[in-house]
Chains A and B, each alone.
Chain A
Amino acid sequence: MSDATVHLRTDQLSAMYGKFSAIKNVTLEFPVNKVHALIGPSGCGKSTFLRTLNRLHEMTPGAWITGTVELDGQDVYAPAVSPIKLRRRVGMVFQKPTPFPTMSIFDNVAAGLRIHRKLPRTELAEIVERSLQRAALWDEVKDRLKTSATALSGGQQQRLCLARTIAPEPEVILLDEPTASLDPQGTQRIEELMHELKTDFTIVIVTHNMQQAARVSDTTSFFYLGDMVEHGPTKAMFTRPKEPQTEAYITGRFG
């Protein structure tokens, strides 16, 4: 058993599309109840890395990996591990809001719960309400839970997706540029939520926005051309980067 405070780790992880390596030999650790930011220019592999953590990467035809990803000391790519079960423990929110258009607000939040197990109606309603409250959306939607989720604004949709992700109580939440398509207000709401949610979850966020990484994260990893160049506490990385490439990126000289 590994160090109990380290929840998720990768070891010599490489992710390929056919012959192309999107990331090469990445070894990283993500301690519990912290926000971890992955930064780097477009195409650096940070999103691919995130998608290896819940095995979504392998759903792309021709995609494969070498190395290991461990969750609580267990290799998640071991043959006995079901990717479905893994994804119930590692939730994910995407760049563009992805409410299910055929479902109501309530059904969207309940979607993940319903497939996991049968719950009594009252208990389901309680969890939905609690999840919406934690996603700071309850007050805005409590009177129209039965209406279509597509009528919500972009920012509300993204918080709905967050509520849907936390409803089944995963242990890790992956966020793939969750504010990229939102206005500044929506972005601020999501950032505030991250602070609150990290008391319950381990959060890994990919972001294009360095100020965001500096604001929300405890540790930061800088990716460049498929390599994980530098990793460390966020404050240190943004004030005294060790690698010249990191410094060039965070001072805005490329990317």
Chain B
Amino acid sequence: MPTTPPPDDVATSDASLALSAWGDRIFKGLLVASALAAPALLVALLWQLLSGAAPAIGAFGFSFITDSIWDPVAEKFGALPLVFGTLLTSFLALLLAVPLSLGVAIYLTEFAPERIRQPIAMVIELLAAIPSVVYGLWGIFVMIPILQSSVYPFLEANFGWLPIFQGPIYGPSVLSASLILTIMVMPFIMSVAREVLLAVPAGQREAATALGATRWEAVTTAIVPYAKSGIVGAIILGLGRALGETMAVTMLIGNRHDIAASLFAPGYSMAAVIANEFAEAGLGTLHASALTYVALILFAVTVLVNAAARLMIWRMNRGAGK
């Protein structure tokens, strides 16, 4: 074996070496440029929302979210009913979806026969693949007629002493929007909660069982407490989804700038008002600016909510890592 490579080898490999060195430089440059795309987009997004909303911010300031009058003709804009509608529908949706999805997640990770775990999880996750507009369509033509003919009269007859179930029954209403949202956020919460529960070390389970706990006791005393912050994270992630959900809510909430005590009454949401009015608002009008202001608020709220959710999940994973 010679201790120096033969000359022809040196020549050829030097040419390909130069290529490698240049290749590495170009490669890294392209990657850096691509990696910069996301932060650049976020900065541009924030900037565009801020500058678009600036006229409305100047005109209304913080009273924008405490005023209730929305009148494009008189150029008076107050977003309280929108904020209220968004928060109320999201809250109701979580109220129903959380027990449901946690029940499913716990069943699928702890109790279900091994064979059916994966298929059921897949079926539920397929729900998340259905486009929002299809939920809206189904809500209008299938869900609402059923609710209007049986469920809502039943609620009024038996719980009519509650203010939230009083008054005339509308099809498109806060309650209808909340119910469709429930179906839509359920698979999200379920699949994140399931992942979180799967990440609980087997030792936790075995330790509880070794102490004589039943399977259900093991769940309540060892597994859920261990996964608590991850589960809270899953719920908050679901909240983020619900807050920003647009099409199905727009099609089912009734689109009325109003705050009513009854859940049977129509309402409005932040995303829905943008969907309905933006195309007609016209370039450079205060109306368009007010709608951008709404988008800015929606964006800020969802960013905060998502950051909180990631923090919770991250905290649990760090705990699990030890």
Contact = CB atoms under 8 A, between A and B. Distances in A.
Interface in B270-284: none
Contacts of B20: 82, 84
Contacts of A117: 9, 12-13, 16
Nearest to B1: A200
10 contacts: A7-B3, A72-B3, A82-B17, A84-B20, A84-B21, A89-B5, A117-B12, A117-B16, A171-B3, A171-B5
Interface of B: 1, 3-5, 9, 12-13, 16-17, 20-21
Contact of A32 (B3, B5, B13, B16): B3
Interface string A28-45: 000011000000000000
A88 B3 contact: no
Contacts of B4: 72
A59 interface: no
B12 A32 contact: no
Nearest to B6: A169
A85 B1 contact: no
B17 A85 contact: yes
Contacts of B5: 89, 171
Contact count band on A: 10 to 19
Which secondary structure dominates chain B's binding surface?
helix
B19 to A, nearest CB: 10
Contacts of A201: 1
Given A84-B21, A171-B5, 4 more contacts: A72-B3, A72-B4, A85-B13, A88-B13
B21 to A, nearest CB: 7
Interface string A71-105: 01000000000101100110000000000000000
Contacts of A84: 17, 20-21
A166 B20 CA distance: 21
Contacts of A115: 16
A177 B137 CA distance: 63
A17 B38 CA distance: 31
Name the residue in B1, B5, B12, B20 with the highest tally of chain A Cβ atoms < 10 Å from its Cβ.
B1
A172 to B, nearest CB: 10
Contact of B1 (A82, A88, A116, A171): A171
B3 to A, nearest CB: 5
A32 B9 CA distance: 21
Contacts of A88: 13
A82 B1 CA distance: 22
A111 B26 CA distance: 23
A71 to B, nearest CB: 9
Nearest to A200: B1
Contacts of A200: 1
Interface in A220-255: none
A89 B16 CA distance: 15
Closest 8 CB pairs of A and B: A117-B12, A84-B20, A72-B3, A200-B1, A82-B17, A85-B17, A116-B13, A84-B17
A137 to B, nearest CB: 22
Contacts of A33: 1
Nearest to B20: A84
Nearest to A115: B16
A89 B1 CA distance: 12
B242 to A, nearest CB: 40
A67 B198 CA distance: 48
B5 to A, nearest CB: 7
A72 B21 CA distance: 23
B8 to A, nearest CB: 9
